[in-house]
Structure 1
Amino acid sequence: MKRIVSLLLALMTVCSMAVFSASAAEEELPTVVSVKVDLAGWPGMYGGTVAVVYAYDADGNDIFSKVDWSITDEEGQEPSEVYIRNKGVWVDPDAKPGYYTLKGTGRDGRALGEAYTTFPVLQGSGGYISREKHAITAKAGVGGSISPNGTSSITNGNNQNYTITANNGYKIADVLVDGKSIGAVASYKFVKVQTAHTIEARFATAPMKDPDTGFSDIAKSDYFYDAVKWAVGSKVTSGLTETTFGPQETCTRAQTVTFLWRAAGSPQTNSVDNPFTDVKRSDYYYQAVLWAVANNVTNGVSATSFDPNVTVQRDQVVTFLWRASGKPAAKADLAFSDLADGAFYADAVQWAVAHGITTGTSSTTFAPADGCTRAQIVTFLYRSKN
């Protein structure tokens, strides 16, 4: 009996010593006061840099292994595709892109205050989160600039905008991205940069725009300069493009009667039936042709044809103008060897020369069958109005 009691007492002593020893050896878990994701850690599996996770106590000690971790997406859900692994953030390739919140809790369950951080996940990033930097080298040729210029260091997944500007007297000829042409664009945006790139802007000389008309093919020294300013200002015609007037382009019969009609104030004519099979109500010159017929400016090339798209001749233009002005009588000393007696345009030429509307193509020729250019037509109109 004494032997059994002695054994029990010995066992109780050992147990109490074990409990005491365990209690004495138990370490008090520190409170987590800060958490961060370092996006510049060691080399990752895809050649980038991995995201390293840290947790710190109040003394600044790294206590990662003494913290329980949770990751939530922007909707507060815990994703299965993004999680902590080996002190880094692991991302499956099919993870939803966006910003995630990483939170650490001390294993004793104490409150952490601001002990959390957010980090980005890129589309299809896979593996460890990479935020390495990539070089984009930009350069511009003679005649313009690109901004920013030189080499820029862009964080992986970020965007970068570039603006291309041509100098006075130049235009953007082409922009090359990674050596491939993307056209004469004025800006370009690299989206979600994943690798190094190059961008190059090239320029070409361009005619200077006239500051008053905005046209690069019009100069103050041109005989038709004032006429073009008047025609554009009076909405008789605009340019062929925003920057060109096309003074040497020939005009069609439809364009010519439209110029005349607009110069007359664009009156609507509904009392005249359209006799021409080649003029439709949907044509921009429809009302102009009806006005020309109603005012005996022209009767077409036949009873049923107007030939709207045929180049107008010089003899036709002065005749249209003369008739639109009321067929005034005028005489001038003419020395044109190509002016046929009794020609339908003879009186119109007399009037045009007498009023300084035209002096012919030379001192001895009028060139009645020559096509009339846009510069000539607006000049004739301008002189007849002024």
Structure 2
Amino acid sequence: MKRTICAWLLVLGLAVGTAVPASAAAFTDVASDAWYAQAVNEVSAAGIMNGTTTSTFSPDEQVTRGMVMAVLWRLAGSPAPSAPSTFPDVEDWYYYADAVAWAQQVGIASGLGDGTFGGGNIVTREQLSVFLYRYSQYAGQELANGVLDIYNDVDSVHTWAKEGMAHAVGAGLITGTDEGNLEPAGPATRAQLAVILQRLMTPAVG
């Protein structure tokens, strides 16, 4: 069973860790005129995100919490954590183990209410916003205070996520939908994450 899980995690790890073509042009599922193509080019060239295979990027695939920690860790230069994380569901052979340990130590990841990290869980837009806010704090970047009241579903944003969501919106990292919603409980895709990372690499508060 452990061998099966390990193999599964290694497949997931390919999405952020294994060296594969560093150009969107090499990915057969990324059209040159796609709204995220330039972002995929930049983050793959920087080694922050790679393909899910040697020829695919899987732009519509949903992002997990572990994957977010891995890309933020890489964005920070892959610093070595001083100790393993304290999350009981993060074993040291997981591809995101060092990333989660680092994120916990610098205050980016605090885990779920039951004390676990939930690395395989799909990350919601509001969770992602909080991670981005904390990363910006860690990196010493200017923090933004976007206006959330203009969105139809502002009341759906949990209290613990409002500060992070306001920063992500104000910094242009996350935008509302065409219908004027934030969709805080909605999932983020790999294409969206690539664009967010591109914006995070060149922050501009507005």
User: TM-score, normalized by length of structure 2?
Assistant: 0.78
Contact 1:224 1:376 in 2 (8 A): yes
The match for 2:3 is none
The match for 2:147 is 333
The match for 1:214 is 26
The match for 1:227 is 39
Query: Within 5 Å, which residues of 2 pair with 1:87-102?
Result: none
2:53 to 241, 248, 251: 241
Q: 1:274/1:222 Cα in 2 relative to 1: closer, same or farther (>3 Å)?
A: same
Q: Deviations over 1:204-258 (max 9, x none)?
A: xxxxxxx853011112222211111111111112111111100000011111110
Does 1:351 find its partner at 2:163?
no
1:321 to 132, 143, 156: 132
1:333 maps to a residue whose letter is V
Of Structure 1 and Structure 2, the greater strand share is in: 1
1:365 maps to a residue whose letter is N
The match for 2:180 is 364
1:338 maps to a residue whose letter is D
Query: Within 5 Å, which residues of 2 pair with 1:31-110?
Result: none
How many residues align? The count is: 175
Query: Within 5 Å, which residues of 2 pair with 1:1-386?
Result: 213-270=25-82, 272-302=83-113, 304-326=115-137, 328-334=142-148, 335-340=150-155, 343-386=159-202
1:289 maps to a residue whose letter is V
> 1:355 offset after TM fit, Å?
1.9
Q: Deviations over 1:118-154 (max 9, x none)?
A: xxxxxxxxxxxxxxxxxxxxxxxxxxxxxxxxxxxxx
Q: 1:363/1:353 Cα in 2 relative to 1: closer, same or farther (>3 Å)?
A: farther
Q: 1:277/1:226 Cα in 2 relative to 1: closer, same or farther (>3 Å)?
A: same
> 1:331 offset after TM fit, Å?
2.5
What is the CA–CA distance in structure 2 between the aligned matches of 1:369 and 1:247, rounded to whole Å? Answer: 19
The alignment partner of 1:269 has SS state of coil
What is the CA–CA distance in structure 2 between the aligned matches of 1:320 and 1:290, rounded to whole Å? Answer: 14
What is the CA–CA distance in structure 1 between the aligned matches of 2:106 and 2:170, rounded to whole Å? Answer: 23
Larger radius of gyration: 1
What is the CA–CA distance in structure 2 between the aligned matches of 1:212 and 1:380, rounded to whole Å? Answer: 16
Report 1 or 2 for greater relative contact order, CA contacts < 8 Å, sequence distance ≥ 6: 2
What is the CA–CA distance in structure 1 between the aligned matches of 2:124 and 2:162, rounded to whole Å? Answer: 14
> 1:363 offset after TM fit, Å?
4.9
What is the CA–CA distance in structure 1 between the aligned matches of 2:196 and 2:186, rounded to whole Å? Answer: 15
What is the CA–CA distance in structure 1 between the aligned matches of 2:34 and 2:169, rounded to whole Å? Answer: 20
Q: Deviations over 1:231-290 (max 9, x none)?
A: 1111112111111100000011111110111111111012x4521111011111110001
Structure 1 unaligned segments of length 5 or more: list them. Answer: 1-210
Structure 2 unaligned segments of length 5 or more: list them. Answer: 1-22
The alignment partner of 1:216 has SS state of coil
What is the CA–CA distance in structure 1 between the aligned matches of 2:56 and 2:158, rounded to whole Å? Answer: 40
What is the CA–CA distance in structure 2 between the aligned matches of 1:294 and 1:303, rounded to whole Å? Answer: 18
RMSD: 1.9
> 1:342 offset after TM fit, Å?
6.3
What is the CA–CA distance in structure 1 between the aligned matches of 2:24 and 2:143, rounded to whole Å? Answer: 37
What is the CA–CA distance in structure 1 between the aligned matches of 2:43 and 2:99, rounded to whole Å? Answer: 16
The alignment partner of 1:380 has SS state of helix
What is the CA–CA distance in structure 2 between the aligned matches of 1:292 and 1:362, rounded to whole Å? Answer: 33
2:85 maps to a residue whose letter is N
> 1:330 offset after TM fit, Å?
2.2
The alignment partner of 2:104 has SS state of helix
